[in-house]
A and B are shown apart, each in its own frame.
Chain A
């Protein structure tokens, strides 16, 4: 645990109070330092308005649908460009970026995973939060168990799955449960949010605490139930230009698109919250 405490302390010094809430949420956060700022300014010096070539985007799996749409929009707006994606678990993507994978943009599902990249000074710009994701209860279609609140999940006989506390959605759910002083014994602590959702989709579990976007993506296979306590546990998605970006100019334009009004429309349609 010593490594984490150290990292947290340094991050606190750098980013200050604004991200304190996020830190509490995931024990780690995004960081920025002078070197990455310098890189970004030198990169912007020889920037040209016209962008071409391929942009490589590493993005969290939950962004797959919305980013694919945005990629097509980008290619349409900038003829001659091509956006290629690598979707996966944020920690896996972060590991391959620090391992030298040639990517332009990293969009992570948590500040903690983004911190892996910024800690290694692999980001060119300071990460900025572009969307947020809120928890929701996924129940069987039609909500046969009449789940209406987080408290309802503690009913005996109800099979509930949570994400493990070691992964972001599990930590967030635990935070929400603690905030409402509820004690919930699930049948399983799943290794990631998709596994938790799959258990409900296959009707093995009656309910799961997952992200809103996941419920939305699952369509009619599950039914989402919002709960007020989720306000206590909202996850931020940071995005950053990478230091060794092969196509920094186009990458900047892509990040701009994600943060633009039209980009935010696509993302909120998928269930994300505005930052």
Chain B
């Protein structure tokens, strides 16, 4: 595991900007400590990605002012928000289960924010109506939340959060409550709305697909710390922790590079196409692995390891085999191939990966 220094990670340290978000969130709760630095420019969509219990929601609550900071700072557009009450912060929140007020219609839910900001009732409702129309909910102004579908409720929640014109939009697992089909639509819509949003948006998710589709930049949190951050494509190609590697579906190893070979810590050598030296990661997708029942003769692949099948599971129309042995890895193969190889847990196999299909990068 690597720990990325949060100040140097992502953005240059000397880039002091008045606009956007500059936060160092420290929340110490005894058994759990969150220590995360976040920076974002207006228009950025940042996704906080991490396993359950990593501290994503705590970070979000700290940004909204619902959980007080133990230490650190929080600046938005040059103004310090650390000690500001949540109702005074220019922050909008879309909660995980939306928390639409059940006693108010969709329209009044959206008008609630403007009303609290001193807009007259008629004016607030007019604004709310525009937001709902923009969200494609023109027919649902009067509906109570319990009459709305999951996708509709999510859009009302987004409209409600945007109606106060926040300078920071926070979304807590915005798609988690939706079923797979709705999710596809809503994700696409949300992506459009976020693209239109001119200020900073921070979303929390444990779903890598949501994060990669919606965000410009990912911040991966584990155990209350940032473990990696960067553009989605970069993180997908260069995972630095097992958690991320699993998320993006790569076999990941850390070791010492020496030319075209990475010596995996307490493991075999992996030949790569890149030339490196010093600490390095090497990664390859499960689909790059080829399995043989017997030791292949005259194989061109230099990466050849003796393994054993630990487990098998269907993965779409493929079979994924978990292997142990010289190198622990995941391998994808077709059902037909699996049958021909007579794979079963405990079966011995030979695994090969072409050097050109591996990818090495400095640790």
- A–B contact with Cβ pairs below 8 Å: the answer is no
